[in-house]
């Protein structure tokens, strides 16, 4: 039985590879059953079926398991995907030079291409955008395959949700964290959520009040130190004076942190810094 199964797989693989090599006209070229377009970097699965590398890689990422879309064969471990050299599939070649095209307005360049090429996906983990060729490792490697790929984002280091790849435009007051619109309707559904701008304004008002209280407390400590210096028993109060000076220095440090936060113009960065800062 195993020998027959192996023969079937080998014959299926050979048939797939042969079909990719036949024909010369555009209409004769075999197409991927996922994207319904001419193969772009075709890869055969152990079951013999062939798909575009990006198509099957994205299919597995969305499904959360490695299975064939056609025969539903499930692979316990991620198969090693090797691109077939067909001679006419889209973007054949090590660097995809055959598909080289100038960037159009609004397109994001691939971060790895020496000559600018349009990126197709952005990786939230790598903080980089990749063209079809440089996306291959994310579809071939098991570890990279777990990274979240999203539609191309111009500024990956900016306000992007690490789960959904969307802009962080909301703030969950229940969990005290910045979230995207999808988060607000999913994990944070039913929580008290407001816009980042509204929460930033609210917290800045709180910080200004805190700043005023700190300034008042600092002035009181400085006055106490000056009074001790004027007393005749300064030696007896030396320890108390040192304690007051250290207390004043700590209050001034906290006041400086509040000043730095209040000077931030970007509402999201302000909230993120505010949440990371030690209790002020």
Rg (CA), the chain: 30
Task: Return d(Cα 214, Cα 13) in angstroms, integer.
Answer: 74
Q: Is residue 180 part of a domain?
A: no
Number of Cβ within 10 Å of residue 37's Cβ equals 12
The pLDDT tens digits along the chain (280 residues) read: 444 444 444 544 444 554 454 444 445 678 899 999 888 889 999 999 999 988 998 888 778 788 999 999 999 888 888 888 765 445 544 444 445 566 777 788 888 888 888 888 888 778 788 988 888 888 888 788 777 777 776 655 556 777 777 888 899 999 888 898 888 888 898 999 999 999 999 999 999 999 999 999 999 888 888 877 777 566 667 778 788 888 888 888 888 888 888 888 888 888 878 876 655 5
Same domain, yes or no: 200 and 272 = yes
Q: Is residue 270 part of a domain?
A: yes
Q: Is residue 260 part of a domain?
A: yes
Contact of 81 with 93, CB cutoff 8 Å: no
- What's the CATH number where 9 sits? 3.30.40
The whole domain housing 238 covers 196-276
Q: Is residue 204 part of a domain?
A: yes
Q: Is residue 156 part of a domain?
A: no
> What's the first-to-final CA gap in the chain, in angstroms?
72
Counting other chains too, the contacts that 6-9 makes at CB distance below 8 Å and 24 or more residues apart are: 8/48, 9/46, 9/47, 9/48
pLDDT (0 to 100) of residue 71: 93
Q: Is residue 117 part of a domain?
A: yes
Same domain, yes or no: 200 and 145 = no
Task: Return d(Cα 93, Cα 101) in angstroms, integer.
Answer: 15
Task: Return d(Cα 264, Cα 259) in angstroms, integer.
Answer: 9
pLDDT (0 to 100) of residue 243: 83
Task: Collapse the DSSP code of 14 into the 3-class scheme (helix H, G, I; strand E, B; otherwise coil) and give the result.
Answer: helix
Residues 6+ apart with CB under 8 A from 76: 66
Q: Is residue 251 part of a domain?
A: yes
pLDDT (0 to 100) of residue 159: 67
Pairing of strands 149-151, 177-179: unpaired
- What's the total number of domains in the chain? 3
Last residue of a domain, one of 151, 184, 212: 151
pLDDT (0 to 100) of residue 257: 83
This prediction has a pTM of: 0.46
Q: What DSSP string runs through 239-263?
A: HHHHHHHHHHHHHHHHHHHHHHHHT
Q: Is residue 170 part of a domain?
A: no
pLDDT (0 to 100) of residue 193: 92
Beginning with the edge strand found earlier in the chain, give each strand of the sheet holding 193-195 in spatial order.
Answer: 177-179, 170-172, 193-195
For residue 173, report the phi and psi dihedrals to the nearest 5 degrees.
Answer: -75, -25
Question: How buried is residue 224: exposed, middle or buried, by Cβ count under 10 Å (0-12/13-18/19+)?
Answer: middle
pLDDT (0 to 100) of residue 158: 58
Same domain, yes or no: 207 and 259 = yes
Same domain, yes or no: 59 and 13 = yes
Same domain, yes or no: 56 and 105 = no
pLDDT (0 to 100) of residue 154: 64
**Tokens coding 72:** 């539903």
Same domain, yes or no: 213 and 261 = yes
């Amino acid at each position: 039985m195993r020998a027959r199964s192996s023969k079937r797989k080998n014959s299926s693989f050979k048939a797939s590879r042969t079909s990719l090599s036949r024909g010369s006209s555009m209409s004769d070229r075999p197409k991927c059953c996922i994207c319904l377009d001419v193969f772009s970097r075709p890869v055969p699965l152990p079951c013999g079926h062939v798909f575009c590398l990006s198509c099957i890689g994205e299919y597995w990422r969305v499904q959360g398991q490695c299975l064939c879309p056609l025969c539903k064969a499930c692979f316990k471990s991620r198969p090693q995907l090797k691109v077939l050299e067909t001679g006419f599939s889209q973007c054949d070649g090590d660097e995809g030079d055959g598909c080289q095209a100038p960037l159009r307005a609004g397109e994001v360049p691939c971060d790895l291409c020496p000559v600018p090429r349009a990126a197709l996906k952005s990786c939230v983990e790598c903080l980089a955008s990749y063209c079809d060729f440089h996306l291959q490792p994310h579809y071939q490697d098991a570890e990279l395959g777990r990274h979240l790929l999203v539609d191309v984002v111009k500024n990956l280091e900016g306000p992007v949700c690490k789960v959904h790849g969307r802009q962080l435009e909301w703030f969950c007051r229940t969990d005290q964290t910045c979230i995207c619109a999808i988060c607000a309707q999913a994990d944070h559904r039913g929580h008290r959520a407001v816009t980042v701008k509204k929460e930033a304004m609210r917290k800045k008002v709180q910080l200004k009040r805190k700043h005023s209280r700190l300034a008042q407390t600092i002035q009181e400590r400085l006055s106490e130190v000056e009074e001790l210096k004027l007393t005749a028993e300064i030696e007896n109060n030396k320890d108390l004076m040192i304690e007051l000076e250290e207390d004043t220095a700590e209050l001034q440090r906290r006041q400086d942190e509040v000043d730095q936060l209040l000077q931030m113009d970007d509402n999201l960065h302000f909230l993120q810094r505010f949440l990371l800062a030690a209790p002020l």
